[in-house]
Amino acid sequence: MEKINLVEQIKKLKKERKAIILSHNYQPPEVQGIADFVGDSLELSQKAAAATEAEVIIFCGVHFMAETAYILNPGKKIILPDPETGCPLANTITAKALLEELENYSNLAVVCYINSSAEVKAESDICCTSSNALKVVESLREHQILFVPDKNLANYVNSQTDKLVIPWEGSCPIHDKLITREEALKLKEEHPEAKFMAHPECRLEVLVLADRVCGTSGMLKYVKESSAKEFIVGTEAGMAYRLKKENPDKNFITFKESICPDMKCVTLEKILHSLETLNSCIVVPESVRLKAKRAVVRMLELS
Ligand code: 13P
């Protein structure tokens, strides 16, 4: 089907199904174009929590994001257009492994990054995203924090607080392996006027080179407020699309291999298919959902 027809069909069915389409900032341009809302992980969970009118939420992102929407909104159909889209970072921890690790500690709080399964959230005290991780950690009365599963975000927060933040051995392969210190130094040398923004999922050795460490929507805000004309984008390369769209007079330089294949799986065809069939609904067992919801709501109340 031609793209223009696809878009028309999606718009028509979206109305009939009382659906909304949410998209993460890393999604392909045509997906962002059809979405009712595009944002970072925190904004998307806030939107999902507030989506009172909708009966269906088409979640253009990866599995843990749609699962978080279900945790907050079990009465709605939450659909992932490609049910196979996961997050390698979220897969670095299971609830069983977390519970085993907790046997080694006492008097410690567990903060789980939103890039984790509902089962892991259910065993955590509070959830966080890249935009509020430091605030979440500082809000806790415990001094010792086990931070799961992203070790780079944990190390970054540890460098910004007096608390002791103990990292889990997990990382995002894109931010940890493909956004390297060597390439960052090279890009900075090639573009001496550019400001370097780095996502806190990158290694500390990369973060120390950055003019600003922030999540994806933090990058949008930084670029809007900055008088600089050129920016090195230290996150998934898809981020450059929205940055350029909203700041056409500025230039964005991305790391050459920083593509998340899972984030690129959603297509207009799959969105249309989801609206037609209402298949691939995300569901979490109620006992897990209720426990996970406590951790997510506690975070949202702070944000
Ligand atoms: P943001 O919350 O900054 O959008 O990050 C999401 C993510 O999964 C980064 O890899």
Taking the centre of ligand 1 as the mean of its atom positions, its distance from the CA of residue 236, in whole angstroms, is: 9
- Nearest alpha carbon, ligand 1 atom 2: 41
Position in ligand 1 atom list of the atom nearest CA 129: 2
Does 109 score more than 90 pLDDT?
yes
- Mutate-to-test residue for ligand 1 from 130, 236, 242, highest number of ligand atoms within 8 A of CB: 130
Q: How far is the CA of 130 from the centre of ligand 1 (A)?
A: 6
What are the pocket residues of ligand 1 if the criterion is a CB atom closer than 6 Å to any ligand atom?
25, 40-41, 115, 129-130, 172, 201, 215-216
- Closest atom of ligand 1 to CA, residue 174: 10
- Across the chain, mean pLDDT equals 96
Burial 152-180 (b: 16+ CB within 10 A, else e): bbbbbbbeeeebebbbbebbbebbbebbb
pLDDT of 120 = 98
Q: What is the pLDDT of residue 49?
A: 86
Give yes or no for residue 4 having a pLDDT over 90: no
User: What is the pLDDT at residue 211?
Assistant: 98
**With 90 as the cut, is the pLDDT of residue 177 above it?**
yes
CA-based torsion, 235, 164, 94, 124: positive or negative = negative
Pocket of ligand 1, candidates 26, 43, 131: which has the most ligand atoms within 8 Å of its Cβ, to mutate? 26
pLDDT digit string, tens, across residues 216-235? 999 999 999 999 999 999 99
Tens digits of per-residue pLDDT, 133-144? 999 999 999 999
At 206, the pLDDT band (50, 70, 90 cuts) reads very high
**The pLDDT value given to residue 210:** 98
Average pLDDT over residues 201-226: 98
Q: Ligand 1 centroid to 18 CA: how many Å?
A: 27
Q: Residue range 9-25: average pLDDT?
A: 96
Position 87 scores a pLDDT of: 97
Percent of the chain with pLDDT over 90: 94
**Lowest mean pLDDT across 19-28, 40-49, 164-173:** 40-49
Index of the ligand 1 atom closest to the CA of residue 62? 8
Q: Which residue has the tokens 């920083």?
A: 258
**CA 72 vs CA 123, 125, 133, 141: distances in Å:** 17, 16, 20, 25
Q: What is the CA radius of gyration of the chain?
A: 19
Relative to beta strand 212-213, strand 251-254 is unpaired
What's the pTM value of the predicted model, to 2 decimals? 0.95
Tell the residue nearest (CA) to atom 6 of ligand 1: 41
d(CA 152, CA 67): 23
Rounded-to-integer distance, Cα 231 and Cα 208, Å = 16
